[in-house]
Amino acid sequence: MNMSENQETPSIIKMIASFTKETAKWIANGAQVVSETAYTKRLGTCLSCPKLIYKSMRCSACGCKLENKAKWKTAECPEGKWPKE
């Protein structure tokens, strides 16, 4: 498990843009969530990723809170590590 405390989140502007884009896409597609199995797999992928900011469970590539983003069916890993739903 990666627990690097040296990772920083993107700028607040980039995080807002990323969140807004992901939220709009999610809502436009019916606000569907992935299965519990897919959610667990996504978080497992994040836990082994060097981009993870473990303390806050945020991705240092996009700044998203992974516990939320990993649930959204339309969301994608910015590093391309999550399988397509």
Within-domain flag for 47? yes
pLDDT tens readout for residues 9-49: 788 898 899 889 999 999 999 999 999 999 999 999 999 99
Cβ burial, residue 6 (10 Å; 0-12/13-18/19+) = exposed
pTM, two decimals, is 0.81
Q: pLDDT > 90: what percent of the chain?
A: 64
The residue that leads in pLDDT, 79 or 8, is 79
Within-domain flag for 37? yes
Within-domain flag for 38? yes
Within-domain flag for 46? yes
Report the number of distinct structural domains present in the chain: 1
Q: Which domain holds residue 27?
A: 12-69
Cβ atoms within 10 Å, residue 1: 6
Cβ burial, residue 77 (10 Å; 0-12/13-18/19+) = buried
Within-domain flag for 84? no
Within-domain flag for 20? yes
Within-domain flag for 35? yes
Cβ burial, residue 30 (10 Å; 0-12/13-18/19+) = exposed
